[in-house]
Structures are given as C-alpha cells and as structure tokens.
Structure 1
C-alpha cells in the first residue's frame, strides 16, 4: 500500500510496460469469469472481465474490458455486501495491490474482496510508455522528450479516462457481479475515486474506508508544502533522538548543501552499479535526488534511513542512496504505474486548478520542479478540463485513516474531506505515514467498522504502533 499518490521526479515517469490494450468490440456485452492465479498470490482467485463503454459520451466508441479480481469470502452465505478495493495513483491497479489480502483477511472471512483494475491501469487496457534501461542515465530534457513522444504516439481518447468515468465503471461492475450495496476501501487517489462514486451513486454505497485521504479540493501536483512538513518533521525527530543527533549533527545543513550543489548543475557520480556491480557513471540531478527523498518519506520505516542516506551522499558515498532509488523503478509502485492514465486524470482534473497563485503559496523543495513541469506536459496530453463540482454531502458512514507523518495526504486533508460527510470517524495514527490499514491492530478495526459502521470505533490500540528506529550506519536500523 506504500506510495499511492505519484508525486515523483520526472525521471521516474517512464517506468512501466509498453502499449494499451485495444477496446473490446461492442458485441462483447456479458461479464465472463474464470479461475486465475496472479503474481504474488498462491491461491486461485476469480478473474472477471466486465465490458464497459469506452466513452460514456459517445456510444459509437465501443467498449473496454475491465479486469476485476475477486477473492471470495472464506465462509459461505454470510455477508452480501462486498468490499471494493480501489488502488491509488492515479495509475495503480487493483491487481497491483493484492498484497493487501493478508491485512484484509478478517474482512474476507465474511465478505468478498473485489479488486478493481481502473480503466487504463493493470489488466484494464493499461496506458503506459515503454521502459528502457537507458532512461536511468538520460537527462531531464531527454526524458521529457521521450515522454512527449510516447504521449503523441499513443492513439487513445485520453479525455475518456476521468475519475467520473471510473466511478461509472464501478457501478457497471457492481451490477455485473449482482451485488446490492457495496463497501469501499480506497487508498490515496483511491479515496478520491471512492468519494466520487459515493456521490454519484449514493444508494449503492453502504460504507467507506478511506486510507490516506485526498480532500475534494486537493490538487495532486501541489504537494510541496505537505512534503516539506514531513521532511522538516523527520529532521526534528532526528535532532531529538540521541543516537541520530550524535551520528548526524549537521543533517539539515548537509541536505541543504547537497540540494544547492545539485541545483547548480548536478553532481557527477561513479560507482559500482548496485544491481550488477559493473562500473557506472552518471549525473545525479536535483529532480532525481528530491524525487527519491519524497518517495522515501511515504513510509516511516523507510524515512528513518534517510538521515544515513543524506549524510553518506554528502560525504560522496552515493551507493546507498542510488540503491534505494533503484527500488522505486525495480519493485516499487513506479514499476506498475500506468503513467499515461496518471497524466490523463491529473491533466484534466488537477492542472486546470494549478494556478500561479497556488504554486506560489505551495512552498517547499521536494515536488516543486515536477509541479512546474505539469502544465507544459499537459498541453501535449490535450485533454479537456474537468470543472471541480461543489462536493455533495456523503451520507454513508466513513472511516478516515491518516498517518501523522504522511507527506502526501496528511491529516488536514482528511479533516477537509470529513466536512462533506454526515457520519465520518477520523483517526490519526502518530507513527504512521502514507497508509494505515496494514499496521498494528488496523486489520481488526477494519472488520469491526464494516460489521457495524454506525458504531463508534475504539481505536486506542493504534497508539501502540511504535516509531521505527533510525539507521545510523551501513548495518541497518538500530535494534
């Protein structure tokens, strides 16, 4: 569940596989179901293909096949209301977050779990660009040119890939699978989709669990202030920790000096490739460095390694930092992201509200460069703007989970979302970052809430989630 919003540096934008699936023909109208085995899951699940209109505004556009993964309830004949799982991004697919299955096992005891591959992601016609090994060594200008070429060469109706269209898809899925009311679990951007669906189809929603909550008015690229607050908080925590402060007494100064050097033109780096041990040389740039730092802040356990990584880089030892940077493209969410879907949504729904005034107010270093590039990239996407509608009140009970250390959707975003909900319970977990559902007693609390969404939830057990220890040397975090 880690890293669900994508607010990374431009060099990470090109990760993924090539091409988009062709739309299904209009004659393929019925859902089809088969037993399937998906990566990362040992048991057989049910894979369902549900045809939906490719463009709800144009019946002649044909259909698109949505991929749905169903983990059936472990007990027969218990609950008729499933849990729909909506991944983040935008650009991540439900089939990419099947790692949530263990955390949702208590829920699955009595309910089907339905993982949705949103249109344009995963196995639902993934919209992406080819990932090439040479991308890692290209300059920002070269990468941007590659991205623009990919956008222009992919012949897709980008304007059909909106959150509103995905919400209408969810209703098609609900009907195709013959469910009555459904519960929604959304992570990060999935919380936006869940809220849009709950407003568009209120009679279809029994309850919502929103983890890493996006506010209705949140502009995804304008995240510099939230990211800076998380980074400043980490520096303050290191200063208060005896071991961290002793090992890295000048941490903030080292970070600022690194950024200043990088912004003057980059730092040449030569080292054994962390993957292959072969000698490699490249230029570490400010966008690559800041994008990786932002990525690391999503997880508190990962963030507690950051002082060591910054200090090592400031001493010229870039190996640990580069090894961590590689995780994003090798195994992280960037490897599975549907980048063109991400751009289709953000360019239509967020960038039109990314005014010069908002950019000026959004102070912070980590995401500023990428935010400033978005308007130009979105001109190449050429999608029509989606006006922000006044959010209607959501009547269904909602559980809002926030990590106090979240650099993307911190608690104030959930507080804003809760203002438009009739029955919202907001929970802030002190030692959590971007994602709470898999931590500590949270899996049990999810089941308790879904069984009785009207009842007040006792969340005191979440206070027992400890803060991770800092990494002070190459051996790893302290015991």
Structure 2
C-alpha cells in the first residue's frame, strides 16, 4: 500500500453532495459478485447509456490547495464532475454508483490528443488527487497535449468510499507489534484481522463484493466513453498496473496507450508476492543505510543504521517514544517506527528525513517518526484517517480467492522473521488478512490482452514495493508488452529521470514504443 495525500476540507465540502453510503445506493440484486465474463465495451440495450461528463469549473477551489507547490504557476484550469456506473454489471440497468472525477486542462494545450487517465495505485489511493498532482508535475510535452483526468475508483476517495474501520482500530493496526516473537503476539494479530473483517462485513455485507478490480476496469471503459475518447490513454502506478492490465484484458481493442509503472506481478500468488516485498524492503533499507553512511558529514544514525534501528525498536517496545508535537498523545511503538521506515523507503528523497527522524526518536522525540508514519497511513493531525486502509483491504480481498489459515501463517512468521528481520514477520501476517473476509470474491483474470496495441511496462531495479521481476513478468505475459527498466531506487520511475521520461513521453504522445528491453541508467 502507498500513502494517500489528505484531501483538504474545502474540496470535501465542495464535493460532498455527490456522495452516498453504499448500502443506501444498493439493492439486494446489486450485492452479488459481478461476472468476469462480460467484455462488452459499449452500453447494452438494458444498460444506461454513458453520458458525457458535465464538468463544473472548480479551479477556484483547487487553487488554494496547490498554492506554493512546484508547477502551481502552470496555466491550469480544473473541472469536477461525475461518471455514473452500474453497481453490478450483472444488473446493468439497476442501481448505480457515482464516481467522482477531476480534469486538468493546460491553457498552453495545443494539438489535443485526448484525455490521459491516471491512477496512483494503492489500491485505495485517490485518482483525483493524483490527477491534480500529475497536472503540476508531468512533463509539458504531455500536459500540453492531453487533458489530465483522475476518477476515484469505486469505494475510493469520493466515489462511494468504503468506510468500515474505525479510526481507533486504524491506530491499533498501525501501532501493533510488527515483529511478533511469541504465540500470544501472533494470536493478537490474528484477532485484530478478525475484528477488521467482521466490522466491514457487518457494515456492508455482501455489498463488499462490488469493489473488485474487474468491476473498476469495467468502470474505466465507461470513463473512457464519458470523456469522449474512442480509445483509452492511461498512466497507472503500482496497483494501477493491475487495474490497467485488467482493462486491457477486457477491452484490448480500446487500448490506445497504457503505461504500467511499478508493475504488480501478475504471476505471483499472495505468498510469493508478500515474500518478494519483504525482501525488497530489506534491500531498500540496506540501500538507505549505504547512502547514509557515505554522507560527508556522517550518518545521523551512525555507522551501522541497521543495528541502530534494531536498538530503537527494542527501546520502543519497552518504552514507546513520546512526541514533542503539540497536542500529540500517541507514543511511537515499534509498529509506528517501522511504518515510518517503510514510508521513507518508497522514495529516496525522503531518506534524509528518515535518518533525522530515527535519530531524534532515539533521543526521545518521535515527532518526525509519527509524521512519516502518518504520511504512509493517511492519518491527519486531528486523528482521523482517509479511507485508504478500508479501501485497500476491501479491494485486495475482493480480488482473490486465496486464503491462508492461521496454521499456514504461523511458521511463515517465524521463518520470514528470521530471513527478513525488519519486514518479514509483518509480511507473513498480511497473508491472513483476507481469510476471515466473508464476502463475494471476483479473482483477477489471467492477462495477456491479446489484440491490444503496444503496452509499455516500466520497472525499477531497486523498487521495494513492486520488485522488478513483477514488471518482467507483466511485460512477458502481455502479448504486446514492452519492458522499460530503470536502474534506480524507490517506487516507480516516471518521470524521475530523463531517459525514462523521454521514452514514456514519446510513447504517450506519438505512440512510439521504445525498443524492447530498453534499460535506463540510474
């Protein structure tokens, strides 16, 4: 999971009229699992036709939110709107959901190609937030040719958000022991997962099955139609590569250009994926440590950052670290310390902040650690959370029929905890999350997208979240997949380096896919 930027209250107030709680929008017919067999791309005789988005100018509301950010001086206008989709594609003329959309248009746009639809991943991150950020930061060569569009997927952000985990429970989840060393600590982790699943099922029942990626991919084709494009141009990061490749499988003929950056491995089962991610984060921490100890002025956490962190985790376990932040009542437990580490390992630009925060925590002030952890989990200063955690668990469990019993997970906690000392046990525990999830499932389809135009898959050699083998597998599985590898660090690559940026720009604008297996230096 990646961190969600918090949505300012002014935008929430602006958009609140389009929201409704899912049970109030649904019917008994709409709670069944959607069929994975339908691949129709246009409205059927029984399905409501797709209406063009009626964009309302919301530039004045977004302007104060982006003020001071890099790119805020671009001549951008923003529109806000909705796309109606069926709650269940098994009942296409039945109840609907309203998906919230944001469009950014540059005043310098020339020779418009169409819309670039963006998704930041998660699952559970807001695509409308991502569209605003993309309009500020994507290269002029792209923003000058496309409208930048983000649509929060069903259950996410402002699109009928799934909200079934209380803030207090989220505090408990993030503060929980990430490296359980006793049977009692493992039992506590299982019990917390049971509580989360029970709470969500009690809130939504079988309606939880409406939030699968297959359904969101079908929604994406209605988005394509609603913005007036004959084919989809799409930029997806992390989980967004799962959504994009599922779209390509269902609607290969509707693909114009898909960039899948930081690909989630389509061939890995949940156990393999979890272990690969644990190994990836361990390697990323070693890269952080090597970078820190090479600093001319010395590393704030000393000559052995791994040993320093181990000592800090032991310290936080016996005496959680208080914070100097005004009004803060939490203390940093090992769970919060490792959440801060994980947050910073997504992006090497945050490594200096991580080093300083760990050093300060060892000295008795966890303010920096809590800031990093909250960025990762979507927690605000007032103690409330975005719905990223709710949506992440709901969508992830909707997408799989794999289940791991407690007896399967216990030995992995010990084994991975020994092999991946920082992140292994927590990765093993995550396998149990969907086991108590008593709701309909729509497993992801195999994806070769036969018949689609070339699809660009981007992988990063030092990506801890979606390790490079996932991109290799994704590109190999897709009949028209083209792999681009960046020899850098951190999660995702575009537009972080000129080589990658030039290749992706040429593909998006001119449909010129790079040569097979192009590798860009760090």
Give the TM bin, normalised by the shorter chain: 0.7 to 0.9
Note if 1:232 corresponds to 2:286: yes
1:188 matched residue in structure 2? 238
Q: Secondary structure of the equivalent of 1:269?
A: coil
**Contact 2:165/2:200 (<8 A) preserved:** no
Note if 1:154 corresponds to 2:208: no
1:469 matched residue in structure 2? none
Task: Name the stretch that deviates more: 435-444 or 89-98.
Answer: 435-444
**Contact 1:66/1:123 (<8 A) preserved:** yes
Note if 1:347 corresponds to 2:412: no
Q: Secondary structure of the equivalent of 2:204?
A: coil
Pick from 293, 308, 312: which aligns with 1:258? 312
Q: How does 1:20-35 map to 2 (within 5 A)?
A: 20=21, 22-23=24-25, 30-35=51-56
Q: 1:376 to 1:19 in 2, by over 3 A?
A: farther
**Contact 1:71/1:114 (<8 A) preserved:** yes
1:302 matched residue in structure 2? 350
For residues 380 and 258 of structure 1, what CA distance do their matches in structure 2 show?
Answer: 33
Q: Secondary structure of the equivalent of 1:454?
A: coil
Q: Deviations over 1:18-75 (max 9, x none)?
A: 9835438998974550323254358542333222110123457511112222334657
1:49 matched residue in structure 2? 82
Task: Structure 2: give runs of 5+ residues left out of the alignment.
Answer: 5-15, 28-46, 67-71, 177-187
For residues 517 and 472 of structure 2, what CA distance do their matches in structure 1 show?
Answer: 17
2:99 matched residue in structure 1? 66
CA RMSD of aligned residues (A): 3.9
TM-score w.r.t. length of structure 2: 0.72
**Contact 1:269/1:281 (<8 A) preserved:** no
Q: 1:73 to 1:444 in 2, by over 3 A?
A: farther
User: What is the deviation of 1:271?
Assistant: 3.9
Q: Deviations over 1:370-396 (max 9, x none)?
A: 444445543553123444543325542
For residues 439 and 253 of structure 1, what CA distance do their matches in structure 2 show?
Answer: 31
Task: Structure 1: give runs of 5+ residues left out of the alignment.
Answer: 7-16, 466-479
1:209 matched residue in structure 2? 259
Q: Deviations over 1:405-434 (max 9, x none)?
A: 321013222112111134444333344411
2:514 matched residue in structure 1? 456
1:117 matched residue in structure 2? 152
Q: 1:189 to 1:461 in 2, by over 3 A?
A: closer
Q: How does 1:370-381 map to 2 (within 5 A)?
A: 370-374=426-430, 376-381=432-437
Q: Deviations over 1:412-469 (max 9, x none)?
A: 2211211113444433334441132242435554332212333437999964x7xxxx
Q: Deviations over 1:60-101 (max 9, x none)?
A: 751111222233465778344432212211111211212111
Q: 1:340 to 1:297 in 2, by over 3 A?
A: same
Q: Deviations over 1:82-135 (max 9, x none)?
A: 322122111112112121112334213222322121111122111124764796
Q: Deviations over 1:344-385 (max 9, x none)?
A: 221133571668489577652444454444455435531234
**Contact 1:291/1:367 (<8 A) preserved:** no
Q: 1:301 to 1:460 in 2, by over 3 A?
A: farther
Q: 1:342 to 1:271 in 2, by over 3 A?
A: closer
**Contact 1:84/1:185 (<8 A) preserved:** yes
Q: Secondary structure of the equivalent of 1:382?
A: coil
The number of residues matched between the two structures is 445
Q: Secondary structure of the equivalent of 2:136?
A: coil
For residues 458 and 135 of structure 1, what CA distance do their matches in structure 2 show?
Answer: 44
**Contact 2:288/2:348 (<8 A) preserved:** no
Pick from 82, 99, 103: which aligns with 2:115? 82
